[in-house]
Structure 1
Amino acid sequence: MNVALWITAGVLAAVCLVGSSKMFVPQKKLAAVGASAQWVLEFSPGALKAIGAIELLAAIGLILPAALGIAPVLVPLVATGLVLLFACAVTMRLRRGEKATITGDLIYLALAAFIAWGRFGPTPFTG
C-alpha cells in the first residue's frame, strides 16, 4: 500500500508541477492552448499566479516532507488541500458547462483523496 501511495503522490506532484506553469506563462498564451484552457480568461493574472503557486507548493509538499522525514504530517494536509482545490476546479467546470473536460479534475481529486486517506486515514501508512 505504501508503494501505491508513493506512486500516486509522485503522479499528482508531477501534475501539480506542470500546472504551476500558470505562474510563468502569460494568460493569453494559456488561453490559446485550446478550448479546455479558456477558463483562464475568467481569472485575473494575479489569481492565476496564486493558483500556480499553490500547485507548486503542493508538488513540493506531497514529496519532500515524507522523503526527508521532516514533518511527514504535511503530506496528508497537502493532499487534503488539493482535494479542496480540485473540488473548486470541478465546480468551476460545471458552472462553465465544460462537462467533457471535467474527467481529469475528477481523477486528480480522487488521487488526492486517496493520498489523504492513506496517509491520514484510520490506519495511516507511513514510511
Structure 2
Amino acid sequence: MQALLAVMFGMAGVMKSTQPKEKLHARLPWVEDFSAGTVRLIGVAELAGALGLILPTATGIAPVLTPLAATGLAVVMVLAALTHARRKEPAAIAFNAVLLLLAALVAWGRFGPYGF
C-alpha cells in the first residue's frame, strides 16, 4: 500500500512541480484558483511525501519519518477535498477520500501495531 501511494503521489508531485500552470489547467481545473508558486509547492509537498513513504523504511534511516509522511499526505488530501468541495466537484472529493483513508491507514500501521 505504501508503494502504491508513493507512486501516485510521486507522479502527481512531479507533474505539479515541473509543468507550467497553463498546461496543468487542462487536466486539473482547480489550478486556476491558485498561483503558479502554490501549485508548485503542492507538487513538491506531494513528491516529498512520496519519498518519505518509501525511503526511511527502505533504508532503515529514521523510519519514524514514514508515518509522519503518511500523516502529511493525509492532511494534503483533507485540504484538497476542501478545495474540491468549494468548487462543487464530488468525484474529486471521493478520490481524495480514498487517498486520505489509505494514507491514514499507513500512518496508523506504522505508528501503531506494525511500527518501526
The TM-score normalised by the length of structure 2 is: 0.94
Deviation digits for residues 77-101 of structure 1 (CA, Å, limit 9, x no counterpart): 1111111100111111111110122
Q: Percent identity?
A: 44
Question: Following superposition of structure 1 onto structure 2, how do residues 79-98 of structure 1 map, counting pairs within 5 Å?
Answer: 79-98=70-89
Whether 1:9 aligns to 2:2 is yes
Question: Following superposition of structure 1 onto structure 2, how do residues 1-127 of structure 1 map, counting pairs within 5 Å?
Answer: 8-20=1-13, 21-33=15-27, 37-121=28-112, 123-126=113-116
Where in structure 1 are there 5+ consecutive unaligned residues? 1-7
CA contact (8 A) 2:31 2:39 kept: yes
- Partner amino acid for 2:95? G
- Partner amino acid for 1:16? F
Distance 2:48 2:41 in 1: 11
CA contact (8 A) 2:81 2:92 kept: no
- Partner amino acid for 2:26? A
Backbone CA RMSD of aligned residues: 1.0
Task: Please name the residue that 1:3 is paired with.
Answer: none
Distance 1:104 1:53 in 2: 20
The TM-score normalised by the length of structure 1 is: 0.87
Deviation digits for residues 83-127 of structure 1 (CA, Å, limit 9, x no counterpart): 110011111111111012222111100010000000002x2344x
Select the structure of larger CA radius of gyration: 1
Aligned residues, how many?
115
